Structure 1
Amino acid sequence: MNLWDWNYTFEVFPVIFRAMWTTLTATITAFALAMVLGLILAVLRRVSYKPITWLVIAISEFIRATPPLVQLFFVFYVLPFYGVSLTPFVAGTLALGVHYSTYCAEIYRSGIDSVPRGQWEAATSLNFSSTQKWMKIILPQAIPPIIPMLGNYLISMFKDTPLLSAITVVEMLQAAKIAGSASFRYLEPFTIVGLLFLLLSYPSALLIKKLEVKMNRRNLGKKEKRSIEKGVAV
Structure 2
Amino acid sequence: MEKWRWDRFFETFPFIWDGLLVTIQFTLLGSLVAYVLGLLFAVLRAMRIPVLDQMLWAFIEFVRSTPLLVQIFVLYWLVRPELLGGLSVDAQRLVVGVTALGVHYACYTAEVYRAGIDAVPATQWEAARALSLPRTRTWTDVILPQAVPRVLPALGNYTIAMLKEVPLLSSIVVLDMVYQVKTVYAASSGGAGPEAWFAVGLTFFALSYPCSILVRKVQSRVGAV
- TM-score, normalized by the shorter chain, greater than 0.5: yes
- AA in 2 matched with 1:189: A
> CA, structure 1 residues 121+26, in 2 after alignment: closer, same or farther (shift >3 Å)?
same
> CA, structure 1 residues 153+141, in 2 after alignment: closer, same or farther (shift >3 Å)?
same
Residue equivalent to 2:55: 55
* Paired residues for 1:62-81 under 5 Å: 62-80=62-80
Q: Is the 8 A contact 2:164 2:204 kept in 1?
A: yes
Query: Deviation of residue 143 (structure 1)?
Result: 0.6
Unaligned 5+ runs, structure 1:
219-234
Counterpart selection for 2:195 from 188, 196, 221 = 188
* Paired residues for 1:6-155 under 5 Å: 6-80=6-80, 83=83, 87-155=92-160
Relative to the length of structure 1, the TM-score reads 0.86
- AA in 2 matched with 1:123: A
Counterpart selection for 2:211 from 179, 204, 207 = 204
Cα distance between partner residues in 2 of 1:3 and 1:122: 70
Unaligned 5+ runs, structure 2:
none
Query: Deviation of residue 187 (structure 1)?
Result: 2.5
Query: Deviation of residue 176 (structure 1)?
Result: 1.1
Cα distance between partner residues in 1 of 2:134 and 2:100: 34
Query: Deviation of residue 54 (structure 1)?
Result: 0.6
For residues 149-193 of structure 1, give each alpha carbon's deviation from its aligned partner in whole angstroms, at most 9, with x where no partner exists. 111111111111110001110101111101221434423321111
Q: Is the 8 A contact 1:35 1:101 kept in 2?
A: yes
RMSD: 2.0
Higher Rg of the two aligned structures: 1
For residues 93-133 of structure 1, give each alpha carbon's deviation from its aligned partner in whole angstroms, at most 9, with x where no partner exists. 11010000010000000000111111111112222222211
> CA, structure 1 residues 107+194, in 2 after alignment: closer, same or farther (shift >3 Å)?
same
Relative to the length of structure 2, the TM-score reads 0.90
Query: Deviation of residue 2 (structure 1)?
Result: 6.8
Q: Is the 8 A contact 2:116 2:151 kept in 1?
A: yes
Q: Is the 8 A contact 1:108 1:146 kept in 2?
A: yes
Query: Deviation of residue 82 (structure 1)?
Result: 9.5
Q: Is the 8 A contact 1:176 1:186 kept in 2?
A: no
Query: Deviation of residue 50 (structure 1)?
Result: 1.6
Cα distance between partner residues in 2 of 1:83 and 1:157: 27
Instruction: Determine which structure has the larger helix proportion and give its number.
Output: 1
Q: Is the 8 A contact 2:46 2:114 kept in 1?
A: no
